Amino acid sequence: MTISVVMDDITDCKVDAIVNAANTTLLGGGGVDGAIHAAAGPELLAACKKLHGCPTGEAKITKGYQLPAKYVIHTPGPIWHGGTRHEKIFLQNSYRNSLLLAEKNGCETVAFPSISTGVYNYPIKQAAPLALNEIHQFMETAKVVKDVTMVCFDEQTFAAYQAALANLDGE
């Protein structure tokens, strides 16, 4: 059972499931969402249309189509409003509900992007420990999910998750 932090493009990850930091329409967007749709091909959008959106903090699953990953788990994280709109709970829900869905679908290996810390503006220094704590807690009782990777796309994000991982190890 491992949690790791790497610098990579999540669309290249050969895992059972990658998580998409989607929006509530599930119809594609910018950032990691746009990259995942571009790499998966048009079948992903067609599958997403049938899901009729997803509320913030919840998660829905599709196949990975042209991606090396078998599945894509779509979760809209919260938009940051200064911490005044239960953003923390919604972000924890996004991680937990994504992992629950991975577990239900027999996924042993899961890769996450840094949910909500791009366009949605969640402060990375708060998001990184929250994400890793939530993943760590889940893994204590997980029966199927074995390896979770946080896939970072820039140095600042990578540094924040590395620091959070070091604190987790030192618990």
SS3 139: helix
- Judged by CB under 6 A, does residue 154 bind ligand ADP? yes
CA distances from 25 to 68, 74, 87, 117 (A): 24, 10, 19, 19
Which tokens is 2 given?
Answer: 């491992």
- Judged by CB under 6 A, does residue 151 bind ligand ADP? yes
- Judged by CB under 6 A, does residue 109 bind ligand ADP? no
Catalytic sites, residue numbers: 33
Q: How far is the CB of 77 from ligand ADP (least distance, A)?
A: 5
Return the H-helix or E-strand segment holding 6: strand 2-7
- Judged by CB under 6 A, does residue 94 bind ligand ADP? no
Which tokens is 16 given?
Answer: 């059972």
If the CB atoms of residues 59 and 151 are measured against ligand ADP, the closer one turns out to be: 151
If the CB atoms of residues 106 and 156 are measured against ligand ADP, the closer one turns out to be: 156
Report yes or no: 116 and 78 within 8 Å, Cβ to Cβ.
yes
What is the rounded distance in angstroms from the CA atom of residue 97 to the CA atom of residue 51? Answer: 16
Q: Which residues from 69-88 bind ligand ADP, rule CB under 6 A?
A: 77
Q: Which residues from 4-43 bind ligand ADP, rule CB under 6 A?
A: 9-11, 21, 31-33, 35
**Contacting residues toward ligand ADP, per CB under 6 A:** 9-11, 21, 31-33, 35, 77, 113-120, 151, 153-154, 157
